[in-house]
Structure 1
Amino acid sequence: MTPARLARRRNYHVGNVRGQLLAAARDILAESGRAALSLRAIAERAGVAPGTVYYHYVDKAALLAGLAVDGFRQLALAMHEAYAADPAGGGLRTTGGAYLAFLREKRELYELMYEARDSGRTDVAEAEAEAIAVSRSAIMADFQGLYPEAIAHDMAEAIWAWGRGIAAVGLARGADGGEQGDEAVQSAVRGLTALIARA
């Protein structure tokens, strides 16, 4: 065992094991991809015994759902911080930019998030709802005074759905690691922006 892992074992505390496991899973996902996310590898990276994982997560799907929840919370925070830093830039531009940056930087995590979301996990759906609320609030501020609140709400919801579709196109076209995905995303964003400007 490496000195770093020995140090993690010495720092082991029951209260932070879930956080250690999620941090380990995030690191493995970023460094080696989804295929490397075994419970044994996650436990080793976190510096805990393999059996400890099952005390906190009933199975691998539950742990990955925890990772997805964490991912949506990261996305919500990124959008919130982007808008707070430049509210004059507009909610659509700032939160949309943060969303696309998250997609570019954390592609595998983003894919995992929506796989878990679409599997019907309530906890993941609730985490996505938190992220949607951040986007909705910022975008509705763009439309304040231009549209009735109910219409602005529906437009913000539609923009989130379009954003997910744009991301799906980008991920599909960029599956080989080339630049086609980014080009597809940028083209779709320009089209969406033009549509909104004419609304």
Structure 2
Amino acid sequence: MSEALQWRGMPYPAKTSAGQILAAAVDLLEREGQAGLSLRALAAELHLTPNALYRYYESREALLAAVAVYGARTLLELQQSVVGEEEGLAALAREYLRFASERPALYELYMTCDSLNAEQRQVYAQLWNLVVDRLLPLAGPRSPEAAMTLWAYLHGLVGLERSGVYDNGEGKPRHTSEFGLRVLLSGLQTLR
């Protein structure tokens, strides 16, 4: 270790892996939100100089894109784990809502990151194709439209939950996802 880095108590970047940096970035995002995720804050978290991170991420946008892709991969893995279940689409919907509820900052970044490159967008495409394929038996050639409808419905539920609509004391039902999903799926069956 060089004297300068030893003096500051900061390890060489070579002792830090891309995986460790990404894990720390995800953790920082989930604690501090998007506004709190910067290269400088991440470097401080890892006890590195900010310049050490440029080896891995050329900018904050590149870091955000990597974390967003991590979120997409996490959601994809959750979705793939329920594809074989008997309930099918209801299980996919529940996993989507659970991901959004349990990891709100990661979900938000996954939904809003606009700095993805073509390679990174492939994970998003895999997630989309999984849902479209799952809807094919119900909606046939209209399964892309059905997938967009399902996505809009689920994203709307997430937004309502976050806005506190269910907790306003006006007697609104707390959980409408199962009812709405049954209505949506029964409507899709009429398209065939």
- TM-score tier (shorter): 0.7 to 0.9
> How far apart are the structure 1 equivalents of 2:102 and 2:44?
25
Does structure 1 residue 152 correspond to structure 2 residue 149? Answer: no
Given that 1:132 and 1:160 are in contact with CA atoms closer than 8 Å, whether structure 2 keeps it comes out as no
* Offset at residue 61 of structure 1 (A): 1.5
Does structure 1 residue 107 correspond to structure 2 residue 104? Answer: yes
> How far apart are the structure 1 equivalents of 2:106 and 2:128?
17
Identity in percent? 27
Partner of 2:25: 25
* Offset at residue 45 of structure 1 (A): 2.5
Given that 2:79 and 2:96 are in contact with CA atoms closer than 8 Å, whether structure 1 keeps it comes out as yes
Does structure 1 residue 162 correspond to structure 2 residue 158? Answer: no
SS in structure 1 at match of 2:58: coil
Deviation string for 1:126-183 (max 9, x for gaps)?
3322211222223335x2xxx5x31334323432233233333333x139xx846xx7
* Offset at residue 62 of structure 1 (A): 1.4
Against the structure 1 CA distance between its residues 28 and 97, is the aligned structure 2 distance closer, same or farther, given a 3 Å change threshold?
same
Q: Root-mean-square deviation (CA), in Å?
A: 3.0
Deviates more, 1:65-74 or 1:155-164: 155-164
Partner of 1:196: 185
Against the structure 1 CA distance between its residues 65 and 74, is the aligned structure 2 distance closer, same or farther, given a 3 Å change threshold?
same
* Offset at residue 57 of structure 1 (A): 1.5
Name the larger-Rg structure.
Answer: 2
Q: Any stretches of 5+ residues in structure 2 without a counterpart?
A: 1-8
Against the structure 1 CA distance between its residues 140 and 75, is the aligned structure 2 distance closer, same or farther, given a 3 Å change threshold?
same
* Offset at residue 9 of structure 1 (A): 4.2
Q: Any stretches of 5+ residues in structure 1 without a counterpart?
A: 1-5
Q: Which runs of 4+ in 1 moved over 6 A?
A: none
> How far apart are the structure 2 equivalents of 1:67 and 1:184?
34
| TM-score (norm: length of structure 2) | 0.74
Against the structure 1 CA distance between its residues 135 and 13, is the aligned structure 2 distance closer, same or farther, given a 3 Å change threshold?
farther
Partner of 1:3: none
| TM-score (norm: length of structure 1) | 0.72
The structure that is helix-richer by fraction is 1
